[in-house]
Amino acid sequence: MTIQAGVWAACGIAIAVAPRFVLVTMFDLPPLPDQGYVRVAGIFSFSLSLLMVLVARRLTELWWFAWAFVIATAGSAIVAGLNALFGLPDGASPLLWWVFAAVSTAFTVGLLTGLALLIPGGWSVLRELRRVH
């Protein structure tokens, strides 16, 4: 979780401070008329990373709170992947969205694996889910 928190913090700071540079210059996305909501998303990313560090430091006691990060990370992976496939304007590069989807998917798998190890009986729950489906 601390690695993910570091990535979220760095990305959040980058898009909060220089959204046009990150999105347009680095990842070849079309310029936006207003960068305010991108900056707000950066601040939220940074703030969420701070909460992630707090939970990671007391994970054995607060493991249930980590599900919020699983939902945020998995949801981000789904949205990024769908946006890369279906949501780009003409001429926009899908690179940022594919990277975002891949990294978020990797973090989701890591969080789920960590929770399975931490929750009493976690592996048996995952095995049972796999057997049912």
What residue segments make up the domains of the chain, in order of their start? 2-132
| DSSP letter, residue 133 | -
> Worst-scoring range by mean pLDDT, 2-6, 13-17, 19-23, 114-118?
114-118
The yes-or-no verdict on residue 18 having pLDDT over 80 is yes
Residue entry with tokens 């973090």? 107
The yes-or-no verdict on residue 126 having pLDDT over 70 is no
What is the tens place of the pLDDT at every residue in 62-98?
888 999 999 999 999 999 999 999 999 888 999 999 9
Is residue 13 within 8 A of residue 44, CB to CB? The reply is no
Residue entry with tokens 């990060």? 69
Per-residue model confidence (pLDDT) at position 35:
93
CA–CA dist 112, 93 (Å, integer): 30
13 burial (CB, 10 Å; 0-12 / 13-18 / 19+) is: middle
pLDDT, averaged across the chain: 91
| DSSP letter, residue 33 | S
The identity of residue 7, as a single letter, is V
Q: Can you give the pTM of this predicted structure?
A: 0.86
